[in-house]
Chains A and B, each alone.
Chain A
């Protein structure tokens, strides 16, 4: 045992000694190998950036012929979408843009209040032990394949909307707006009476609360009664797609905004409490404003998830290329850009070179531009948050990224070692 240990020790010493007295040639060789390795790694790393450039190049290349042949006017202003009609094809994509917008707005309405509330709850309300279980559970939502969501939307949710649509809507209204109204009433009463003299404060608060509660109950009752009377003839519609997309966007929004809220830091919270603020006041007027850009970024990421999603909208939205009547009718089927591309691409071989083929690339280009802009926006917002937080903390990031230095120079110095 000891002998073995000694030998291995000797060997390692000998090795180290070997590298110390490296000959000049061996040294040069080693440098060359290191340089080669770095170049290969650089090539691998930049291949993903190149992929993005190539995607832009190929989509633009195939989109241009469409605009060249058909101009911009019909594509952006007409709602007649008949690309496969051999005699008189029409390429009006307005209704499809509208459908994408509508479903996305619906998803935002579902996901943002829920997601931000859940994030606040996770970061500031729930005890640590519960949070450790809840956050991973929410993130599991992101791991479910979208076709499963789509299947659920088509087979479970759509029939539910058709059979018990009105009732389901009114129950959902109570579930969603009930707690929201209670929270709002508490906060409004608290804030509106906070400035009064101490003698009047409590009675005034009680009066405001009772008044608001009555108003909210009446409003909710009326709304739910109106909703309960609705009969939904087709369960695959903008509402269905919006709700499912909202649920799909939830994990992104919860996760990213919870990170932002946590990143706001203990110091801010403790400072706020030290000044006598309640927990509600701390959350509403200190933590959320401090994390607002992070929450913004979370919302943008969630929106991108909703815009880019294909399978769910294909299965849940009904795919009717129309602007609903009236324009806010979420119970009518709509069609989105992603679903159009995937369902009209079927015979791409057959139609290569025709307008029917290129129009899909034109649509893809629009989609790409939108999500690219959203991505840039969220990147910018996140960067601003990081800068702001480090400025507040006085811990200006001293890392290489914040030092002003040319991009190519940085790359070059990295290769050189």
Chain B
């Protein structure tokens, strides 16, 4: 008798608890729905995972400044173009220029793609400071990463096996590298993969025989950047296109945004001091003339 009574009371408490949780869920979902309605305007970005970090940092800053809600999707350059053409986004972030077919499809749907170059992406080769090698050519780098050059001594360095380090194949950095250096040849199977620029730098910092590639912002602190084809990677050489392993990053819009609109302000954020600081801080090169 007493046990059944206790269990009944216990069940009563359980029911009360379940009811409370359910009520809390309902209330919270209602309040979330109200929150999303609040802001005045809305900008939707979609596309490249390379441009994504810039767009996200821009969005954080922009939302605080203006209250305009900015959402950033990272689904790859191809999807960025697709979403822009289908009208599901205001800005298509792309780490490459639009292909002919994409342009055609856009114009047929009445969308006039306009490209704005917001930053440059330069990929720098780094080695351990104790490594006597100072410069490489793109062919040598390609030879290393495709497994044809296995020892530093083959290219004038010490007698040691090269420890080759690459970004994971999903990163925009890898994409740039594959496009500009590997020319779509397959990377050797002994290459080690690392998931961030910082991790590559950490590996190269304490591995004397290592070579890796990173964004320009990661060429400091205990690693040495190499000249490629005789050009040292700097903001200036990357922005002016003298450095060979570099590419522009685009924001595509449907026509040029209406002047003074939030979209216009967002797309031209890269021209401001703050915008350039943001681009710097996420590891890319701001576009100015670097006099």
Question: Which A residues fall within an 8 A CB radius of B?
Answer: 19, 30, 33-34, 36-38, 40-41, 79-87, 95, 154-155, 158-159, 162, 233-236, 314-315, 318-322, 332-333, 335, 343-347, 349-351, 417
Contacts and interface: CB of A to CB of B under 8 A. Distances in A.
6 contacts: A37-B11, A95-B189, A343-B168, A346-B168, A347-B74, A349-B74
Contact of B168 (A81, A320, A344): A344
Given A40-B15, A320-B193, A154 B202 contact: yes
Contacts, number: 110
Nearest to A30: B8
Nearest to B77: A350
Given A40-B15, A314-B195, A83 B169 contact: yes
B153 interface: no
A344 B170 contact: yes
Given A34-B11, A344-B169, A321 B189 contact: yes
A162 B192 contact: no
A86 B171 contact: no
Contacts of A81: 189
Interface stretch (B31-39, B61-69, B205-213): B205-213
A335 B193 contact: yes
Contacts of A319: 168, 192-194
Contacts of B28: none
Contacts of B76: 347, 349-351
Interface of B: 4-5, 7-8, 11-12, 14-15, 18, 49, 73-76, 78-79, 160-161, 163, 168-171, 184, 186-187, 189-195, 199, 202-203, 206-210
Given A349-B75, A350-B75, A87 B184 contact: yes
B206 A159 contact: yes
Nearest to A350: B76
Contacts of B7: 34
Given A319-B192, A333-B192, A349-B74, 19 more contacts: A33-B11, A34-B11, A38-B11, A40-B14, A40-B18, A83-B169, A85-B184, A154-B202, A158-B203, A158-B207, A233-B209, A234-B163, A235-B207, A320-B192, A322-B189, A332-B190, A343-B169, A347-B76, A349-B79
Contacts of B190: 320, 322, 332-333
A343 B199 contact: no
A157 to B, nearest CB: 11
Contacts of B8: 30, 33-34
Contacts of A417: 4
